[in-house]
Amino acid sequence: MNTVSLPNEIMLAEVARLLAEGHSVELRTKGSSMLPFIVGERDSVRLVRKPFAAGDMVLAKTSTGAWALHRVVSVENGRVTLKGDGNLRGTETAAEEDVAGVVEAILRPRGREFMPSARRAARWNALPYIVRRFYLAIYRRIV
């Protein structure tokens, strides 16, 4: 299979357009901000356009203009607060209308589909900072 790498500004704007037209899009992930649930450069995600709520993983253009595939922490007054599962601290915000799509499935190698439950993700994010920090440090070295 051939792969093409494009700058996020170009590629993700096109992904957002396709999602707005009602298409689903499979997207190869990068980075480690969604560990341990999504491994960058290994996993892909299937995105669809549908209503979202706290606990969902979404692709959104943040208030800084950058694109992020992160989990919704809260939705209040038209503002969405996002946080990567692998980010120990810090959040981003986006306008509700800047959420391009919702992760429908995480696609693992050899065709396996996986989707962590909101409960599992909530348990992970409720762990003490120090536990997540050490787990992620070890996990990043192994994976």
Q: Is 134 helix (H, G, I), strand (E, B) or coil?
A: helix
Asked whether residue 48 is assigned to any structural domain, the reply reads yes
CATH of the domain at 17: 2.10.109.10
For the segment 6-22, the average pLDDT, to the nearest whole number, is 93
Q: Quick check: is 114 in a domain?
A: yes
| Helix or strand (DSSP H, E) at 73 | strand 67-76
Domain membership of residue 1 (yes or no) is no
Mean pLDDT of the chain: 93
Count how many domains the chain has. Answer: 1
Our CA angle for 48, 108, 87, nearest 5°, is 75
In this prediction, residues 27-40 reach a mean pLDDT of 93
pTM of the model: 0.91
CA distances from 56 to 5, 65, 89 (A): 26, 21, 18
Does any domain span residue 3? no
Q: What domain range includes position 138?
A: 8-142
∠ CA 68-131-139, rounded to 5°? 60
Q: Is the pLDDT of residue 2 over 80?
A: no
| Domain assignment of residue 54, yes or no | yes
90-98 LR contacts (CB < 8 Å, sep 24+): 92/60, 92/62, 92/63, 92/64, 92/66, 92/68, 93/62, 93/63, 94/60, 94/61, 94/62, 94/63, 94/68, 95/63, 98/60, 98/61, 98/62
The reported pLDDT for the residue numbered 45 is 97
- Whether residue 1 is predicted with pLDDT greater than 70 in this model: the reply is no
Tell me the torsion sign for CA atoms 73, 51, 41, 118: positive
